[in-house]
A and B are shown apart, each in its own frame.
Chain A
Amino acid sequence: MIPVAHYVILSSILFVLGGLGFLVRRNVLVALMSIDVMLNAVNLALVAFNRSHLQASHLQAYSGQSHLGQIFAFFVIAVEAAEVAVGLAIVLSLYRLTGTVRSDEAHLLRN
């Protein structure tokens, strides 16, 4: 069995990569993708920790083991989908408005 540390290290590398991508890339689409990479890095950590720290569920109706981390990952995926839907809609309107998807040109809020 692969130790949990390996998962965590992979997750951290992915998270930092995503963060860096979000910081340095000017294309909004790529920024969105970077956010997704970060979220998936978190998902990986959640799932890995859940698997390595199996505990009895504290729900009264369910007597098996707790899969809170796994379930939480699903929630993250659902939020991610929503985020992408909204994000792409914003990108689309930004493109229609300015003819570009570069984030440093999106300064309509200035002044």
Chain B
Amino acid sequence: MPLFPSHDYSLIAVILGMPLLGAFINGIWGKRLGDAAVKVMALSAVGISFAASVTAFAALAHLTSQEHEAHVRLTWNAWEWMHTTGGAGNVVPVAVRFSIDALSGVMMLVVTGVGFLIHLYSTSYMAGDKGYARFFAYLNLFIFSMLVLILADNLALLFVGWEGVGLCSYLLIGFWYETRSNAAAGKKAFIANRIGDFGLLIAMFLLVHYTGSLDWTGIENGASSLISLSGQGRVSVWPPGGGEYTGPLHWLQPAVPLTVLPATAIGLALLLGCTGKSAQIPLYVWLPDAMAGPTPVSALIHAATMVTAGIYLVCRLSFVFVLSPFTMMAVAVVGASTALFAATIAVVQNDIKKVLAYSTISQLGFMFLGVGVGAFEAGFFHVFTHAFFKACLFLGAGSVIHAMHARIHDGEKSQDIRNMGGLRKWLPHTHWTFLAATLAIIGFPLTSGFFSKEEILYRTLVNHTVNPSSGRYPKYHFFEPPAALGMVLFGAAVLAASFTAFYMCRLYFLTFWGDFKGWTVGRPSLLARQELAAEDHDAHATDDDAHGHPAEDLSTPGYAPHESPWEMTVPLMVLAVFALAAGLLNHFGGDKHPMDHWLEPVFRAAREGAIVVAQGQTEEWAQAQEHVVTAFGVLAFAAGTALAWWMYVAKRGAPAKQLAAALPGLHKLVLDKWRIDELYDATILAGVDSVAETSAAADKYIVDGLLARVTSLLVAAAGAVLRAMQTGVVHVYGATMVVGLAAMGWFFAVPHPNATVADAGSDDYVVTAAPGLGYGYRWDADGDGTPDKVEFGPDATLKLHVEPGKTTTVRLEVRNAFGFVKGRNIQVTHSPAAISAL
């Protein structure tokens, strides 16, 4: 019996538990522990988690080879969470259950590995910040949430992690919450993600309803019910939920209800969720603003890990997505358009982090394009390589900003690439690592980005998605994407790739080449040197949050920008090595693709029958395209790079200025990010605002003005009457009490012959007399004027028969304990109307 059997792999508890423990300790006691202890706690938490992840991954690899490349999982069942009911009335257990398979294993390694490096980087980058402990508590909590997201074995638990990373993202974007714009950026991210979460929730409900399961295996087994050829099995989109409208809205009722396949509805709802988390059109707007957070956060959450959760989810539920070629097409189109759109914005941005943010959106678009054309391995491989080179780029940017901060304390100006230049002389390590990552992202041959992007481009061109059920039901018409789609997407992707090469080289050249434009470098005068020395201490301490510093006169000479300490450069170097070499994981030794091979069991079921070679083409044609695609890819890289070189190095930026001057309108429009934020403000936000304003007005004038005022007037009037009775004389109160007591005595002394009549069915009625203290009853049911019995008895009910349309009068007499007697006549009517109502 092994220590960790595959069906009860409790090492997962360590992987998950350590970051949670770190978050807990740093969150509760961090302030008292001091920065050194916080650092040790945070690093060891993620470090141990990483070590455990490596162990788990090795165990998984061993198990996979034993099981002959079947889709194996290491699972650990923590506890039973809840039950729900599926569409077929079956019980759906929802367990807190985690599993590691080939897909989540790779993701887990990336999160803990890159996460550890970024933690190490942050220990120096955040040094001296007054929220040091808070920062690491959030960061550890993020690692925990991300691991929950990745390792969850069902969609409900994934959603817990999904929300958890959203929360951490919000907390870390608004980490320096004292600045209003940072807090607003955090809120924006949170709200944009809420819209996506709506989609994810809807998808979850639909999955429970149609497949009767929420865990991955169950959904996969029940996936066949997601393609329903009958009318009832389809999801009614309009009218929502089906049914028929009557009443004033009946004109909205369509002649034929608009229905879609459950697979399409679920896929599109999931896609909405993924566009929110992974910053795709139309919900990408939060990611550029998210750069308000500290730079390591941008690297970890908003580049390497969290934003790839959407692609992870598509991969995870690939067998659902492939059931609907329409959804696959939507994923691919969203991805390609986002890749191109974001790349155009990145071309003109001047903020180093903004360029990287749009670059991230664009690269995420590439990943969506990859999974959308059914190349799940390629899309996921790009997630893997992107994690390294984009984390490296962001951390490099952080190192540059760190250096700029020595004299420029304004957050915006210190990140402006127009103030940089020539930094390669002073920041050699940062320069080389940044260059390596840039080469990877622009697809320099044999770097990691080259391989992953090439594969996406290739699959985009040759793949074609069809409904896997179309073979079984030849008479039924299934949606099929247009044949030209592959070419169009391929063209957009190649264009986006060349834009990528251009803007990344522009960023690199403007930052590290040319002349330094931040300040005059030279020996500072004695006076300035003293000031500088005094300032240098807290310049690093407060970092981006640099308010309160007097604006420094940058025309006086100052020390050159300096390289960052080892805690920052070592992670950069590790990431740079991976950025250059990670591509070989999939491509050493010719046709052997270890990464594809490793992931293949995960996607085997999904791909079967769904992903075919483009219409009217053969396998041979597809294989021949590989070289064509490589040529296009290299061409895109070369064109973009050469243009950037010519513009910013050979001509020192003059052509760029001429171009901007020649097309001022377009330049301004792109600089303003195509004014999408403004468009959303004018349409969606304005709509929500007007609803809010209407509600506020209703609250102000109807609720406060009318309802509240009328109520208060009533209370005031009642008060005025009652006040007159409150004489303040004790004596009067006593007298009132006596009168009340006498009234109660009277009430109890007199019998109350009350009764209720109930219909007992089949023309029978039951008359029940109300109970009371010491009551005895006698009845006169025959209507002869004298009671049926002389004695009063305990029988409080009387049963009688009344023919329809007739009325009978019965008499009830009640005697109480004092011997008082009182009677009442009760009419029992059997109305014909009651019959028709029945």
Contact = CB atoms under 8 A, between A and B. Distances in A.
Contacts of A107: 727-730
B734 A108 contact: no
Interface string A12-39: 0000000100110010100100000000
A5 to B, nearest CB: 11
A107 B730 CA distance: 7
Interface in A74-111: 103-104, 106-111
B749 to A, nearest CB: 11
A52 to B, nearest CB: 13
B731 interface: yes
A26 B731 CA distance: 8
A53 B377 CA distance: 91
Contact of A22 (B727, B728, B729, B738): B738
A111 B729 contact: no
Contacts of A110: 727-729
Interface string A39-80: 000000000000000000000000000000000000000000
B728 A19 contact: no
Nearest to B741: A19
B737 to A, nearest CB: 9
Interface in B737-772: 738, 741-742
Contact of B730 (A19, A23, A103, A111): A103
Contacts of A104: 729, 731
Contacts of B728: 107-111
B723 to A, nearest CB: 9
A18 to B, nearest CB: 10
Interface in B197-226: none
B734 A103 contact: yes
Nearest to A26: B731
A108 B727 CA distance: 10
A31 B737 CA distance: 13
Contacts of B729: 103-104, 106-107, 110
Nearest to A28: B730
Nearest to A49: B817
A28 B742 CA distance: 21
B735 A23 contact: yes
A13 to B, nearest CB: 15
A57 B728 CA distance: 47
Nearest to B818: A8
A108 B730 CA distance: 9
Interface in B708-726: 726
Nearest to A31: B734
Contact of A103 (B726, B731, B742): B731
B730 A22 contact: no
A53 to B, nearest CB: 11
Nearest to A110: B728
B268 to A, nearest CB: 67
Interface string B99-133: 00000000000000000000000000000000000
Contacts of B738: 19, 22-23
B286 to A, nearest CB: 62
B726 A109 contact: yes
Contacts of A109: 726, 728, 730
A110 B724 CA distance: 10
A17 B362 CA distance: 96
A23 B734 contact: yes
Contacts of B741: 19
A108 B728 CA distance: 7
Contacts of B735: 23
Nearest to B726: A109
A62 to B, nearest CB: 25
A6 to B, nearest CB: 16
A93 to B, nearest CB: 13
Nearest to A8: B818
A106 to B, nearest CB: 5
A26 to B, nearest CB: 7
A109 B742 CA distance: 26
Contacts of B731: 26, 103-104, 106
A42 to B, nearest CB: 11
B450 to A, nearest CB: 88
Nearest to B728: A110
A110 B728 CA distance: 4
A101 to B, nearest CB: 11
A103 B734 CA distance: 10
Contacts of B742: 19
A32 B514 CA distance: 102
A103 B737 CA distance: 15
B833 to A, nearest CB: 48
Contacts of A111: 728
B404 to A, nearest CB: 73
Nearest to A103: B731
Nearest to B742: A19
Contacts of A106: 729-731
A41 to B, nearest CB: 13
Residue of B726, B729, B742 ringed by the most chain A CB atoms within 10 A: B729
A103 B730 CA distance: 6
A19 B735 CA distance: 9
A19 B734 CA distance: 10
Contacts of A26: 731
B132 to A, nearest CB: 60
Contacts of A31: 734
B454 to A, nearest CB: 87
A79 B726 CA distance: 28
A91 to B, nearest CB: 11
B726 A22 contact: no
A110 B730 CA distance: 10
Nearest to A18: B738
Contacts of A103: 729-731, 734
A109 B731 CA distance: 12
A110 B199 CA distance: 65
Residue of B727, B729, B730 ringed by the most chain A CB atoms within 10 A: B730
A27 to B, nearest CB: 11
Interface string B239-280: 000000000000000000000000000000000000000000
A110 B731 CA distance: 12
A17 to B, nearest CB: 13
A23 B741 CA distance: 12
B91 to A, nearest CB: 43
A106 B734 CA distance: 12
Nearest to A16: B742
A103 B729 CA distance: 8
Contacts of A19: 738, 741-742
Interface in B514-565: none
B783 to A, nearest CB: 37
Contacts of A23: 734-735, 738
Interface in B64-79: none
A104 B730 CA distance: 7
A22 B734 CA distance: 8
A32 B741 CA distance: 17
30 contacts: A19-B738, A19-B741, A19-B742, A22-B734, A22-B738, A23-B734, A23-B738, A26-B731, A31-B734, A103-B729, A103-B730, A103-B731, A103-B734, A104-B729, A104-B731, A106-B729, A106-B730, A106-B731, A107-B727, A107-B728, A107-B729, A107-B730, A108-B728, A109-B726, A109-B728, A109-B730, A110-B727, A110-B728, A110-B729, A111-B728
Given A23-B734, A110-B728, 20 more contacts: A19-B738, A22-B734, A23-B735, A23-B738, A26-B731, A28-B730, A31-B734, A103-B729, A103-B730, A103-B731, A103-B734, A104-B731, A106-B731, A107-B727, A107-B728, A107-B729, A109-B726, A110-B727, A110-B729, A111-B728
Interface of B: 726-731, 734-735, 738, 741-742
User: What 4 A-B pairs have minimum CB-CB distances, sorted nearest first?
Assistant: A110-B728, A109-B728, A103-B731, A106-B730
